[in-house]
Structure 1
Amino acid sequence: MEMTGSSLSRGVNRKTSQENPGGEHSIQKRREECKEPSAQKNNSRQKQETTVIQTTAKFIRNFVEKAPSMVAAAMTYSKPRLATLWHYAKVELVPPTPGEIPTAIQSMKKIIHSAKAGSVKHLTVKEAVLNGLVATEVWMWLYIGAIIGKRGIVGYDV
């Protein structure tokens, strides 16, 4: 049997119309189905963004509500401690007066003489630890002064 061009095209048309019942409408439906996963992704992304925004807003709202009480508690906690710090800072961190300089020089001479004489061997452990802590403190203050003078920490192995 020989098929002509028109009968061939009718067969194809029949075949496609059988595969796609509804014609153009089913093609539109399939296109929409193909687009649906991306639409679902967009909906999911929008829901996630909304959830993040709501969570952030809730956090900020709670923080703003609790901030005054937290600041008041911090102030109450820190006032006596800052007063103690300020008291010791006034006493310990002031530079020596001109009258204290000769006393400090004599003290340094005495320490050097005792180190040369070997009386370091007769120190108790407590005295040795205290002397070591004082020396470490002086050394650290020298480093801090140098950092402040250079206006940066660059160049120090920290």
Structure 2
Amino acid sequence: MALMRMATAWERFVLKDLPTVGRYARVELTPPGPGELVGVVKGVGGLVKDTLTFRWATVTVKEATVNAIVLAEIAGWFFIGECIGKGSIIGYKV
């Protein structure tokens, strides 16, 4: 009886979402095209220009807060990825 309920729950909650997951995976997991790489290069060029012209010193407090939160999120995911890759929180297994 419990196995039947588990199968019904699996069908109801997991299998109904598989086509949606497949659609998103097909779009999100494809390698970037040449058009996206051009945008990345332009973005990095603009970032270097803004750094050299000290535009970063004239941002509002709201923009600086948003930038700091985005930076903290990127750093957090980087360190979480490192911990997952290492297989532990402290040190590498040599």
Per the shorter chain, which TM-score range? 0.5 to 0.7
| Structure-1 residue corresponding to 2:56 | 119
Cα deviation, residue 72, structure 1 = 1.8
1:96/1:109 CA distance change after superposition, 3 Å: same
Q: Within 5 Å, give how 1:86-125 maps onto structure 2.
A: 86-116=22-52, 117-119=54-56, 121-122=59-60, 123=63, 125=65
Distance in 2 of aligned mates of 1:68 and 1:132: 45
Q: Which has the larger radius of gyration?
A: 1
| Structure-2 residue corresponding to 1:74 | 10
* Percent of paired sites with the same residue: 17
Q: What are the Cα deviations for residues 84-115 of structure 1, in whole angstroms up to 9, with x where unaligned?
A: 44333333332211232111111122233334
Cα deviation, residue 137, structure 1 = 7.2
* TM-score, reference length from structure 1: 0.38
* TM-score, reference length from structure 2: 0.54
1:154/1:68 CA distance change after superposition, 3 Å: same
Question: How many residues of Structure 1 are paired with residues of Structure 2 in the alignment?
Answer: 87
Higher relative contact order (CA 8 A, sep 6+): 2
